[in-house]
Amino acid sequence: FQILIDGQSWRWFMSSEGNHRAMLFYLLGYKHLYGVIDSIVNKKYSKNWYNVINGTYSKMEAESIFDDIFKGCASIRGMI
């Protein structure tokens, strides 16, 4: 899992593994899902994100991608 933080709000994000297991647990009525947090991505530190520093994305482009993921508007594999 990855934790995405935007101000006072946060979301958990599954980037590559466990999506099917999570859905099955939900469908089977489980109330809790255990996992390991791989990283925490805080929007306020976007200028320090790896792909912003190396020039792959501008700060604005990276934040736009983050916002789409945070709002659930975009399907993406892997994080910024």
What is residue 38's predicted lDDT score, i.e. its pLDDT?
A: 86
Pairing status of strand 39-42 against strand 2-6: parallel
pTM for the full model? 0.76
What is residue 33's predicted lDDT score, i.e. its pLDDT?
A: 82
Residue pLDDT, tens place only, 56-71: 999 999 999 999 989 9
Secondary structure letter of residue 56 according to DSSP: S
**Residue from 50, 23, 27 nearest 14 by CA:** 23
Using the predicted structure, report yes or no on whether residue 19 has a pLDDT greater than 80: no
